[in-house]
Amino acid sequence: MSNEKDLYSFTCTLNNGEEKKISDYKGKVLLIVNTASKCGFTPQYSELEELYQNLNKSGLEILAFPCNQFGSQEPGSNEEIKEFCSLNFQTSFPLFSKIDVKGSKADPLFNFLTTSKPGILGLEAIKWNFTKFLISKEGEVVGRFAPNTKPKEIANQIENLLNS
């Protein structure tokens, strides 16, 4: 891998302000998603929660990173975002602080993800909310899915990684 860092070298800030090392998730399959509360894809929170409920005990973790860079569809504070997710989708997977996922102020984790797994035509930049990155138990970025790919459409790939 050309990156000097690996996935587990990153630390991110949870929605409540607590620092969380990605290395705490070593040995788990991860689905990392940039999210937004006022997006046409926001109902995917329901499918993400369903996946989490069904597969968390088998080793899946879903990490949600709210972002306001696409159509200003995540304008709220961290507290408002958490309340929205809890009230509307009863989410129980880890929710991180609002970040940028592209551009000069992009979170280093998302720079790593996008260079590890470029999108269509080799473009690295994230194009919209609910872009999903699938990570193996070994910390390898094995999949990148467009916003319109529903979480249930990648359930089989997740299960295959969990069983490998």
The CATH class of the 7-162 domain is: alpha beta
The catalytic position among 12, 39, 67, 85 is 39
CA nearest neighbour of 85 among 53, 44, 32: 44
Q: What is the chain's mean pLDDT, rounded?
A: 93
pLDDT digits 0-9 by tens, 94-153: 999 999 999 999 999 999 999 988 776 677 789 999 999 999 999 999 999 999 999 999
39 is catalytic: yes
pLDDT above 90: residue 39: yes
CA separation for the pair 140, 147 (Å, rounded): 21
DSSP 35-67: E-TTSTTTTHHHHHHHHHHHHGGGTEEEEEEE-
Domain boundaries of the chain, sorted by first residue = 7-162
The token pair that represents 134 in the structure block? 């699938």
Instruction: Produce one character per residue of 69-99: b if its CB has 16 or more CB atoms within 10 Å, e if not.
Output: bbeebbebebeebbebbeeebebebbbbbbb
pLDDT score of 3 more than 80: no
Mean per-residue pLDDT, 38-47: 95
**Which of 29 and 116 is assigned the larger pLDDT?**
29
> Has this prediction a pTM greater than 0.85?
yes
From CA 150, how far away is CA 96, in angstroms rounded?
A: 21
Confidence check: pLDDT of 2 > 50:
no
Query: Residue 4 above 70 pLDDT?
Result: no
- The H or E element containing residue 12 is strand 11-13
